[in-house]
Amino acid sequence: MNQSNCIVAQSGGPTVAINASLAGVIAGVKSSEKYDICYGAVNGILGILNENYLNLSDIFADDANLEKLKTTPAMYLGSCRHKLPDYKDDDSPYVYIFHQFDKLSIKAFFYIGGNDSMDTVLKLSDYAKKINSDVKIIGIPKTIDNDLCMTDHTPGFGSAAKYIASSMLEIAHDTFIYAVKSVTIVEIMGRDAGWLTAASALARNEYNTAPQFIYLPEVNFDKDKFVADIKEALAHTNNVIVAVSEGIHDADGSYITSSKAACDQFGHQQLSGAGKALEFIVKENIGVKVRSVEVNVLQRCASHLASLTDIEESFAQGKKGVTIAAEGVTASMVCLKRISNKPYQVEYTYSAIKDIANEAKSVPREWINDAGNDVKPELIEYLKPLIQGETAVAYKNGLPDYMDVSHLHKCN
Amino acid sequence: MNQSNCIVAQSGGPTVAINASLAGVIAGVKSSEKYDICYGAVNGILGILNENYLNLSDIFADDANLEKLKTTPAMYLGSCRHKLPDYKDDDSPYVYIFHQFDKLSIKAFFYIGGNDSMDTVLKLSDYAKKINSDVKIIGIPKTIDNDLCMTDHTPGFGSAAKYIASSMLEIAHDTFIYAVKSVTIVEIMGRDAGWLTAASALARNEYNTAPQFIYLPEVNFDKDKFVADIKEALAHTNNVIVAVSEGIHDADGSYITSSKAACDQFGHQQLSGAGKALEFIVKENIGVKVRSVEVNVLQRCASHLASLTDIEESFAQGKKGVTIAAEGVTASMVCLKRISNKPYQVEYTYSAIKDIANEAKSVPREWINDAGNDVKPELIEYLKPLIQGETAVAYKNGLPDYMDVSHLHKCN
């Protein structure tokens, strides 16, 4: 009757680590003296508005399930892209949400997500303050884009970075085999921030200098400079590999898409990504063998190649969320502070959500080389620790053995 | 002085297992009483024409290197796409090649490759016969397409199939998260044979029914039927996932490309693949959220997710090549015969190269359902054993630790 429960939800795009943070929240509630049941809302904040809950304390009573959840990709609880209105304009969803909180004896709400989700955390925090609610509102970060402020890096990023670097190395092996001049363009996710594309630099080793060039959205893209870069590299190496963020743009802020490149060549519009655009530019201006590879959604859901560091930190950040809520913290997001790089050491902390929501962290210009076509050693040193270690993914019938997510299949 | 040496080369497109077969050849020569040095020609048959050799017996004297080679993707020796002329038209390359064989005291030549490479094996075999050469000419199969005749399946296919099935499962997790109707098209390699696309069916398990449809090049693609399939599936499930071979074509034999689909919609040509084409068709005819994912080159070079069964069989087939050459066999390709499926058991054998070169093996129509939009259980049972087991890929600094291939970097 006098229960003190929690509810958790996930929102935004998938990552490999977002379920590890969920597992952390569940584990945190399990070991907490303050909280009883941990509920999960299905499909983010919509799960509360639709009264679509799971009893996670029941489902994950067995620790083996919790371990399996840690290495299952995407969202066990499903996701949504739902922007709450300003409560001053329309407080009806807020009234409903806090009514649900009362009904379920919720004392803490945890929202695992990226920038947009932190906007929801901020709005709920503001409303809670206004109505003097004692429900603690806590954000748990997650985004492969690594663009949340006030934290050293974000859960999900390290695994995506490991996937990108490994893929770049394997693409390099694939590319090296022909003794003919070639250019390979690898397009990597990142509309506004180039962190993930920068991680491709980690593929360089004693025998691999690829990617030879890295173009990030933090630097205006110059087509002529790009053509000159490639020509110069082809003079002394057969196989040139280029890593490019999907979000590169010219000095006017226009995205580099193949509609533009194709227009130059064929006189009509094509709609495609930056990789295709650069492929067209090479074809048109240099004329060597060229192909583009768009690294697909696997960069955010390939749990079979997760970073152990990322998974462990994501779990710990979920757990930290419960700890700080129990201590009375609210209107905050769990953060990571890097104490030292060698040896790598982090501290789990938190910051006010108002300093995080609707802000974004780009790659600092001083971590990109002057020519704007590569990253500096400082950035590589920052990235290195985040991809270390491999998780022990179990295999069943030759495939990764992930958590059953059939509860997400219900046709609404 | 009286040496009896071997030479090996690799040709065609990369796979995850082609270096395992190379390791098998090297190990076979190491343990052979007949052969002394194992040379490797760099960039396929071109390596012999250009006198570009490596002494593999030296490089892989240490067994630890041989183990590492087994799990390194693509070609350690590089590749080529070089078609020899008919010796009746022009015997000059043959004269040169067999002169090199004499110079190096070569008694056996091993060519690891797919259909085109087996054409080279056939031509060299015919010429060897004509000049009464005692050099044994042996093909070692390799292709992710699984389309070589006379063998149960081909090295490299099992690993690619495991990658495709795992990726399909991870894409399904990625897709399930939103409670909105959506269609995801996954385009998989396979211009003429649908084996690899069929392997996506292995992703189905107790909670995942994706892919809901599988379209192979062995069945003529019917756009109206496709639209009806998708509409019907969307009536009872939110997220429909489609696996499609890059080589699907209509009843006239025209490839389904987005130039066609885009023409329907915008009235002008676009050049892209089958996945994009199906994406356009869904957009135009159904109007739900749709995206296409082109599984990129990683399906043939992601050694971090190799099938142990595939790697072990590929190694054994390389070794078998040396054994049969030593026994006096020539003009043949190493083959696999499946003795039993439960338990899975294979026998290593060989077949005359004339029955293999320039032939291709498609998915039998009776292993595809009547509607032509899915595979039958017989095909799934055939595929299952091939993706079993995981290799112990070593990691260094958070990335797979592969063999140094810097010898391929020389700018020709």
Written as six digits, the tokens of A231 are: 């020509």
* B145, B147, B229, B310: the active-site residue: B145
The answer to whether residue B373 sits within a structural domain is no
CB contact under 8 A, A177 and B303: no
Residue B324 and residue A30: Cα distance in Å, rounded?
63
Question: Per-residue confidence at B267, pLDDT binned at 50, 70, 90?
Answer: very low
ipTM: 0.95
The answer to whether residue A163 sits within a structural domain is yes
| Stretch 224-263 of chain B: residues touching chain A, C-beta under 8 Å | 236-239
Same-domain pairing of A187 and A266: yes
Same-domain pairing of B147 and B171: no
Instruction: Pick from A34-43, A254-263, B78-87, B289-298 the range whose average pLDDT is largest.
Output: A34-43
Same-domain pairing of A186 and A71: no
Distance from CA of B327 to the nearest CA of A (A): 32
CB contact under 8 A, A179 and B43: yes
The answer to whether residue B37 sits within a structural domain is yes
What pLDDT, on the 0 to 100 scale, is given for residue A263? Answer: 39
In CATH, what number is assigned to the domain containing residue A19?
3.40.50.450
The answer to whether residue A150 sits within a structural domain is no
Residues A400, A392 contacting (CB under 8 angstroms): no
Assess whether pLDDT exceeds 90 at residue A165.
yes
Same-domain pairing of B148 and B49: yes
Residue A157 and residue A387: Cα distance in Å, rounded?
9
pLDDT, tens digit (0-9, with 9 covering 90-100), for A194-230: 999 999 999 999 999 999 999 999 999 999 999 999 9
Assess whether pLDDT exceeds 60 at residue B191.
yes
Over residues A56-69, the mean pLDDT reads 96
Same-domain pairing of B24 and B129: yes
In CATH, what number is assigned to the domain containing residue A216?
3.40.50.460
Same-domain pairing of A272 and A224: yes
Question: Per-residue confidence at B91, pLDDT binned at 50, 70, 90?
Answer: very high
| B contacts of A46 (beta carbons < 8 Å) | 179
Distance from CA of B291 to the nearest CA of A (A): 11
Same-domain pairing of A128 and A193: no
| B contacts of A387 (beta carbons < 8 Å) | 397-399
Q: Tell me which chain B residue has its CA closest to the CA of residue A258.
A: B270
Q: Does B212 touch chain A (CB under 8 A)?
A: no
Same-domain pairing of A214 and A287: yes
What pLDDT, on the 0 to 100 scale, is given for residue B272? Answer: 66
What pLDDT, on the 0 to 100 scale, is given for residue A410? Answer: 67
Over residues A78-93, the mean pLDDT reads 95
Assess whether pLDDT exceeds 70 at residue A270.
no
Give the range of the structural domain holding residue B200, as residue numbers without chain letter.
160-300
Which of B300, B329, B350 terminates a domain? The answer is B300
Which of B300, B320, B347 terminates a domain? The answer is B300
The answer to whether residue B367 sits within a structural domain is no
Q: Tell me which chain B residue has its CA closest to the CA of residue A187.
A: B296
The answer to whether residue A365 sits within a structural domain is no
CB contact under 8 A, B203 and A399: yes
Distance from CA of A135 to the nearest CA of B (A): 27
Assess whether pLDDT exceeds 70 at residue A247.
yes
Which of B252, B282, B300 terminates a domain? The answer is B300
Q: What percent of chain B has pLDDT over 70?
A: 95
Same-domain pairing of B325 and B257: no
Is residue B115 a known part of a binding site? yes
Assess whether pLDDT exceeds 80 at residue A268.
no
Assess whether pLDDT exceeds 80 at residue A265.
no
pLDDT, tens digit (0-9, with 9 covering 90-100), for B199-255: 999 999 999 999 999 999 999 999 999 999 999 999 999 999 999 999 999 999 999
Phi, then psi, of B73 in degrees rounded to 5:
-75, 165
Same-domain pairing of B283 and B319: no
Distance from CA of A115 to the nearest CA of B (A): 18
Over residues A34-51, the mean pLDDT reads 97
Same-domain pairing of B246 and B342: no
The answer to whether residue A363 sits within a structural domain is no
Question: Per-residue confidence at B358, pLDDT binned at 50, 70, 90?
Answer: confident
pLDDT, tens digit (0-9, with 9 covering 90-100), for A328-361: 999 999 999 999 999 999 999 999 999 999 889 9
Bridge partner list, B334:
B350
Residue among A174, A301, A303 minimizing CB distance to B301 = A174
What pLDDT, on the 0 to 100 scale, is given for residue A272? Answer: 66
| Stretch 75-114 of chain B: residues touching chain A, C-beta under 8 Å | 75, 78-81
What pLDDT, on the 0 to 100 scale, is given for residue B366? Answer: 98
Binding-site positions of A for diphosphate: 13
A2 Cβ contact partners less than 8 Å away, ≥ 6 residues apart: A105
Q: What percent of chain A has pLDDT over 70?
A: 95
How many domains are there within chain A?
Answer: 2
CB contact under 8 A, A206 and B178: no
Does the annotation mark B145 as catalytic? Answer: yes
Same-domain pairing of A89 and A27: yes
Q: Does A294 touch chain B (CB under 8 A)?
A: yes
Question: Per-residue confidence at A409, pLDDT binned at 50, 70, 90?
Answer: confident
The answer to whether residue B380 sits within a structural domain is no
CB contact under 8 A, A166 and B74: no
DSSP 8-state secondary structure symbol assigned to residue B117:
H
CB contact under 8 A, B177 and A408: yes
Assess whether pLDDT exceeds 50 at residue A269.
no
Residue B293 and residue B276: Cα distance in Å, rounded?
8
